[in-house]
Chain A
Amino acid sequence: MENNRVEEDDKNAQNDKGNLSGSGSAKEKEPRIIAFVCNWCTYNGADLAGTSRMKYAENVRVIKLPCTGRIDPLFVVEAFKKGAKGVLVSGCHPGDCHYTSGNYHSRRKYTAFRDLLSYFGVDTNRVEFSWISASEGNKWVSVINDFTNKIKSLPDSSDIFSKQ
């Protein structure tokens, strides 16, 4: 049973990759969004949205990490390299971090990182940051939907990390 699931996941992952590098048919034109989320708050928030049968944009692919403090801005660059159009980083509200201060550190890092992206001419609309707690399934849905709409409204330009 477990094994089957893994295989299934693998297949999905492969299909995703095709989409990520973004070429070909109209169906694949849907922009891909990567969400790096923390294990304790946002992931559970997203889970809540799922178990509550709330619907949100299919463009997002969630990658779970222990804490926003673990989400190195390099991950964002990596996502862009692989063709993602938008990247969301999300974790616990200030004061709620499971590891006390990971989200505070992360906030500082991303403040600088966003400035740098913007300075190099990458549209900062493509990087979103949010605090979503385990009880905020609603917020997850609205953040994802808003972000997806925003990404869709952006001109289809390449960035300096990936050749189009």
Chain B
Amino acid sequence: MEEKYYEISSDNIEKFINNLVEQNNEVIAPKDKDSDTFYDKITNFKDADLNILLPKLSFKEYLLPKTETLFEYSISGSSINILDSLENAGAARIINNGSGGSDNSGKKGGKKIIFGSRPCDAGAGPIMEKVFNWDYKDEFFNEKFKNLYIISIACVQPDNYCFCTEAQLSPESSYGSDILLKKGGSGYYAKVTTEKGLELINSSSENSSLFKEISKEAFPADKDWKAAFDIKKTQGFLDKNFTSNYFQEKFLSCIGCGICTYTCPTCHCFDIQDEGTNEKGRRIRNWDSCQFGIFTLHTSGHNPRVTQGDRYRQRLMHKFKIYNEKFNKYLCVGCGRCSRNCPEDIDLKEITSELSLMENSGEV
């Protein structure tokens, strides 16, 4: 659709969000919790903490829950009953599986709205969507993706771990956002790029009156964000140096905790498990991580990725080479969470930039 531009005051954005809450939607925003910030459900605009750069975890769990039930079964006597989670339980239940695992509200028909995410987090949605649809169409993901509305706020000041610009997004990118807000004027300028964004604005006459449409020219232009290194060169290094000793040496300090993958907005690996007894049970999928030794362990006992170096190399390869070869995009939004949260201080920005400089250095 054609992009639309609006202006909205600070007071009105508060009204808008509170209206969305009242309209029976689940609004999720960065929220203060145990002296850190996490995405969580808010009931009032004032609950949202919009001053921080990024919440500690991404909102990935609203697209790919930590544990998701694929189907349930029950057996009584000779009859076996299978409950398809998508069909039978109704979409509402599955969608609500997002926060904290259990279905926490029975709100049917309500939307899930992420408010106050950053362009990096917003960009993760369409990046994952490609994976979940290139071959097999993952309805569980799609259902949630379709019903997730994203209102993000452009960053003013990225920190030292951020590298969205290098990862082909930018602190002001609207990729993946339904509405992108930029601070300025009487409060915010809004850029609406999708029908879903318009749907939110036009969800009531009061809501649409809060927004004042402006011309494209009146919308503040993006700053000239400069990439500190060329990610294509990083890819160039990875193309040629699968067996490089760099990985083995660099990742001696990796303890394989998997925090980088669990806090990553785009990492999407899952593990399918069955749980249950003779009477009832379910098939679920849980988050999983390529940083675990058992991730590639064969039944035979052979493990193709023996060392942590092999495993971290896989993470780099997948993000900056393999995914790109297929979808011409990177499986990384440059949010820097993996670096900030790494207990051993492994910094992905530092590594990718280091690799980009080594592109033509041959075997290292």
Contacts and interface: CB of A to CB of B under 8 A. Distances in A.
| A contacts B: CB pair < 8 Å | yes
Interface of A: 14, 17-18, 21, 82
9 contacts: A14-B278, A17-B277, A17-B278, A17-B279, A18-B279, A21-B277, A21-B279, A21-B280, A82-B277
A18 B278 CA distance: 9
A21 B280 CA distance: 10
A67 B278 CA distance: 29
A21 to B, nearest CB: 6
Interface in B58-74: none
Contacts of B277: 17, 21, 82
Interface of B: 277-280
Main secondary structure of the interface of B (DSSP, over half): loop
A42 to B, nearest CB: 27
A17 B279 CA distance: 8
Given A17-B278, A18-B279, A21-B277, 6 more contacts: A14-B278, A17-B277, A17-B279, A21-B279, A21-B280, A82-B277
Contacts of A18: 279
Contacts of A82: 277
Contacts of B280: 21
A17 B277 CA distance: 8
A82 B281 CA distance: 12
A100 B352 CA distance: 60
A19 B277 CA distance: 12
B80 to A, nearest CB: 15
A116 to B, nearest CB: 23
Nearest to A83: B277
B140 to A, nearest CB: 22
Nearest to B277: A17
A84 to B, nearest CB: 13
A41 B80 CA distance: 43
A83 to B, nearest CB: 10
Contacts of B278: 14, 17
A17 B75 CA distance: 13
Contacts of A21: 277, 279-280
B48 to A, nearest CB: 31
Nearest to B278: A17
A17 B280 CA distance: 11
Contacts of A17: 277-279
Nearest to B76: A18
A130 to B, nearest CB: 29
A21 B279 CA distance: 9
Nearest to A14: B278
Nearest to A13: B278
B232 to A, nearest CB: 50
A82 to B, nearest CB: 7
Shortest 5 CB-CB distances between A and B: which pairs?
A: A17-B278, A17-B277, A21-B279, A18-B279, A21-B277
A154 B241 CA distance: 64
A82 B280 CA distance: 12
Contacts of B279: 17-18, 21
Nearest to A20: B277
B81 to A, nearest CB: 15
A18 B77 CA distance: 12
B104 to A, nearest CB: 14
A129 to B, nearest CB: 27
A155 B279 CA distance: 26
B73 to A, nearest CB: 14
